[in-house]
Amino acid sequence: MALKTEHMVLNMGPQHPSTHGVLRLELEIEGELVKKVTPHLGYLHRCFEKHAEAMQYNQVVPYTDRLDYLAAIGNNFGYALAVEKLLGIEVPERVEYIRVIMAELQRIASHLVAIGSNGADIGALTPFLYLFRDREHILSIIEETCGARMLYNYIWIGGLSHDIHPDFVRKTKEFCNYFKPTIVELDNLLSYNKIFIERTANIGVLPVDTAINFGSSGPTLRGSGIKFDLRRDDPYSIYDRFDFEIPVGKGLMGIVGDCWDRYYVRIREMEQSLRIIEQAIDHIPEGDVQSAIPKRIKPPKGTVYKRVENPRGELGYFIISDGTVNPFRVKVRAPSFVNLEVLGELCKGYLVADVIAILGSIDIVLGEVDR
Amino acid sequence: MKSAEEIFQILKIEFGNSILGLDKDTPTEPIISVDPLQIHRVSKFLRDNPDLQFDSLMCLSGVDDANGNKVKNADGDELIEGGTLSVYYNLHSVSLKHKISLKVSTSRTEPKVESVENIWKSANWHEREAFDLLGIFFLNHPDLRRILMPYDWDEFTTEVSRHPLKKDYKNPEFYQGMKVPY
């Protein structure tokens, strides 16, 4: 007589260290094999979009910090660009340069957390501590300029909240010189570590057409080998002036689009961010960073969808203005929200332990998944 | 690469009266209005036509247009009667690098829009979000549940506090015995 078997349902989270916040994954498993993953979100839901409708345009900026709280500058940046587009204003050159440098510093800081926690989730705790040490330098540089370490409220509509600190240029250059050798160190410590490769190569393979159909973006999409980066493909601000490459997954350790590729893309992106910073840091023009800030922000009626390349992918703001001082509708297309959707596809047929590696390689921030 | 005007003409020839109009007066991509019960056919065409190849749905947003009449119900709450809810689709072609926005409007009392989930998988969660926050019902969606709000929100709240992004939303007094307004 054949034994009757059925799938077991296992809840991972909401309180689980590797779900990066409060995410609950409902795993259907057969032994150790994952058959189905159903994510349950909303534990951090605070209806940012409803709040935004009750605020004036400039008052929304601090709320955007709290979406992707590891890359708050990027969120401010996207929102400011969207409203500037509605208003039809141009910002001074100095503002553009500072914005780009800050956004790239923030990208490095964010990738450091992503890489560190990806490693820590699957057992490599040492690199995590090293990377947080390096991230500290960036947070200090930004703190000196705008007074905050994580939630900056730095990029305002039409300008910046503060001009850069007199030491900013020197310290940023120092950081660039300091950080380049540590990337090599990180490669030796984690990227080419045999155990790490065993845990991530050939795991969670994401084919290109699936990635595009699921709307994946950022390192999740580029890990699958497609050169798509909004900084180059839909340029905003002054990114078209800089020379940088777009690293993509090449399947160096396994199949193209596996966890290792997504991880490795982030490391190479940090190098490119350094390149952009080095090109920009010596050419910051003089000027007043608050000269273009409108006294009264009252955009004409209209609809705008503006997207920027945040560390986690395409961050889009869809804003409808009804001609008053409050936005009529603000919708955030959060990269983590969309990237998380593909998790169910990625985990099918892998082991329970691999779910953690895959989730770490997608790198979600629950603040923007739940909004 | 095609301009919005050209895309509009191609769609007009293919679908005739299902394409309702073109709004060019926007700071970003022009918006093509489509019949909410034809959006699946139109989307499939947009994705599969070799000249268009819209392979990626960037964003899908539900909006309460708040264009109905304001009335007061028995409890003194101000409600909106009639009018429309809208869904905006922001499309992008990774291969051909052009963009377009679509818009469908549906009645506020019985909001029904065809789902595009089996064309772009990314629509799945976006549509669930629009259903959750605005109550727009997506026909043929495989898994239309709440996504951000609690699954049992309806059991503990009244009609006026079902969908928070509606413009006449009222906070419920209590949810599961917890006081909601803070």
Is some CB atom of chain B closer than 8 A to the CB atom of A49?
yes
CB contact under 8 A, A305 and B58: yes
Position B51 scores a pLDDT of 82
Per-residue pLDDT tens for A126-149?
Answer: 888 999 999 999 999 999 888 888
Average pLDDT over residues A233-259: 87
- pLDDT band at residue A111 using 50, 70 and 90 as cut-offs: very high
The residue with tokens 């309180």 is: A15
ipTM of this complex prediction, to 2 decimal places: 0.88
Position B55 scores a pLDDT of 86
pTM of the model: 0.89
Position A79 scores a pLDDT of 92
Domain boundaries, given as residue ranges, for chain A:
45-343+354-370
Domain boundaries, given as residue ranges, for chain B:
4-173
Contacts of A221 in chain B (CB under 8 A): none
CB contact under 8 A, B58 and A88: no
Distance in angstroms (rounded) separating the CA atoms of residues A71 and A78: 11
CB contact under 8 A, A212 and B101: no
Position A108 scores a pLDDT of 92
Architecture per CATH, domain A45-343+354-370, reads as Orthogonal Bundle (1.10)
- Please determine, for residue A19, whether its predicted confidence score (pLDDT) is greater than 80: no
Is some CB atom of chain A closer than 8 A to the CB atom of B164?
yes
Contacts of A303 in chain B (CB under 8 A): 26-28, 31, 88, 101
Closest CB to B59: pick one of A226, A331, A341: A331
CB contact under 8 A, A337 and B125: yes
Q: Write out residues 334-363 of A within 8 Å (CB-CB) of B.
A: 337-338, 341-342
Nearest CA in chain B to A305: B28
Is some CB atom of chain A closer than 8 A to the CB atom of B94?
yes
Per-residue pLDDT tens for A297-344?
Answer: 888 888 888 889 999 988 999 999 888 889 998 999 999 999 988 888
What interhelical angle do A259-281 and A168-186 show, nearest 10?
Answer: 150
Position B166 scores a pLDDT of 86
Position A87 scores a pLDDT of 87
**How many CB pairs below 8 Å do chains A and B form together?**
93
Distance in angstroms (rounded) separating the CA atoms of residues B45 and B54: 9
What SS3 string covers chain A?
CCCCCCCEEEEECCEEHHHCEECEEEEEEECCEEEEEEEECCCCCCCHHHHHHHCCHHHHHHHHHCCCCCCHHHHHHHHHHHHHHHHCCCCCHHHHHHHHHHHHHHHHHHHHHHHHHHHHHCCCHHHHHHHHHHHHHHHHHHHHHHCCCCCCCCEECCEECCCCCCCHHHHHHHHHHHHHHHHHHHHHHHHCCHHHHHHHCCCCCCCHHHHHHCCCCCHHHHCCCCCCCHHHHCCCCCHHHCCCCCCCCCCCCCCCCCHHHHHHHHHHHHHHHHHHHHHHHCCCCCCCCCCCCCCCCCCCCEEEEEEEEECCEEEEEEEEECCCCCEEEEEEECHHHHHHHCHHHHHCCCEHHHHHHHHHHHCCCHHHHHC
Q: B17 CA to chain A: closest CA distance, Å?
A: 24
Contacts of B164 in chain A (CB under 8 A): 47, 50
The residue with tokens 């028995």 is: B74
Could you tell me the two tokens for A79?
Answer: 């929102």
CB contact under 8 A, A215 and B122: yes
Q: B131 CA to chain A: closest CA distance, Å?
A: 14
Closest CB to B122: pick one of A303, A320, A341: A341
Question: Which class is B4-173 in CATH?
Answer: alpha beta
- pLDDT band at residue A212 using 50, 70 and 90 as cut-offs: confident
CB contact under 8 A, B27 and A212: no
Position B177 scores a pLDDT of 83
- Please, which residues have CB within 8 angstroms of residue A98's CB and are 6 or more apart in sequence? A160, A164, A284, A289
CB contact under 8 A, A331 and B61: yes
Angle at alpha carbon of residue A289, lines to A287 and A293, rounded to 5°: 130
pLDDT beneath 50, residues of chain B: none
Is some CB atom of chain A closer than 8 A to the CB atom of B161?
no
Per-residue pLDDT tens for A65-97?
Answer: 888 888 899 999 999 999 998 888 888 888 999
